[in-house]
Amino acid sequence: MPAVNKRALRPGERIRVLVVDDSVVIRRLVTHALEQDPVLEVVGAASNGAIALQRIPQLNPDVLTLDIEMPEMDGLETLRRLRGEYPQLRVIMFSTLTERGAAVTLEALTLGADDYVAKASNEGSLDRSMIRLREELVPKIKQFFYLPTSARESAAPRAGAIHVARTPVRREGRARAKVVAVGVSTGGPTALGAILPELPADFPLPVLVVQHMPPLFTRLLAERLDATCQLRVEEARNGMAVEPGKILIAPGDYHMKVAASGGAVRVCLDQSPPQNSCRPAVDALFASVGEVYGGAVIAAILTGMGQDGLRGAQILKAQGAGVLAQDEASSVVWGMPGAVVNAGVADRVLPLEEIVPQILSMTGRT
């Protein structure tokens, strides 16, 4: 699905949200959490997808929060209808941290949902649930907009900002790559599903991927990718060998790092503090890859909110690694790649479909 670029809010304009959930408690909780933010306005609520579709023309929302399991018309069917009738409308799914919830959420992301939030479970109090929901949901709604009261975050396009680096990526003296490291967040499952199957079966390097996702989700993502890719795709396990021709996905709630051990490179998982509010963090992977491989790395930063990966990309760049960034037009959110581009770290700024051809070129495959 093509990316829908960020929209700039006019001064005084608020982000209009329609809350769709069959639970009265959840609808009230979401409404109260969002209305505490002056930039957000809950314009209505609906108890199922059919009612939501009726209310969209009347309420003109910018964003829907969409439950998955609802009577009459569930979240997936609603999403299919939304993508056909309202392609510009942003949709954030409400998921449960269960096997079924994770699987259905990944399906929703494939169908064009923009992001998801896990429903609170056993929070212990309404206040705690409200705080957690506000901390997670509000930034995910705002990531799709340029706010008029801010300096238009660092990833926003600037006048004269570089969009394509014209110098060749392979320069004299650059070490031949030994590993590919990828960082991605919002829009990641769709982006990974589009590009990783393009890697040929005889691709000679290991591929390490950090996708911001919780436990369960990362395992199911790896399984989905393994079914479509020519290379083997697995959720990484502690001590697993980093081998050519294998794609490893960082498990949710663990930083994935690598270390040289007995002549081999192995995965090291840990639960050290989050970096950039993320665990797994792209910065953690990139820094450790730099320690093991030096400049013999191809790093790719794809669509995602925030700037996780910037510090790690700077470390790798200083060591001589090649750094690729997805362009704004093909990104769901140009936060992570935009931060790398605007810092002058990217060697190439490319549409999503050109990322793998560039990697193949840099590894001498074309």
Active-site position among 21, 62, 212, 330: 212
Active site residue 270: no
185 is catalytic: yes
Q: Which of 62, 283, 308, 327 is catalytic?
A: 308
Say which residues have a Cβ less than 8 Å from residue 187's Cβ, sequence separation at least 6: 3, 114, 115, 302, 303, 304, 331, 332, 333
Please name the residues in contact with 92: beta carbons below 8 A apart, sequence gap of 6 or more: 63, 64, 65, 66, 113, 114, 115, 116, 117, 137, 140, 141
| 212 flagged as catalytic | yes
Tokens of 298: 């191809």
Catalytic residue among 47, 185, 288, 330: 185
Q: Is residue 115 within 8 Å of 93, Cβ to Cβ?
A: yes
Cα–Cα dist 157/52, whole Å = 34
Place of tokens 């006048």: 159
Q: Are 39 and 143 in contact (CB under 8 A)?
A: no
The residues that are catalytic are: 185, 212, 308
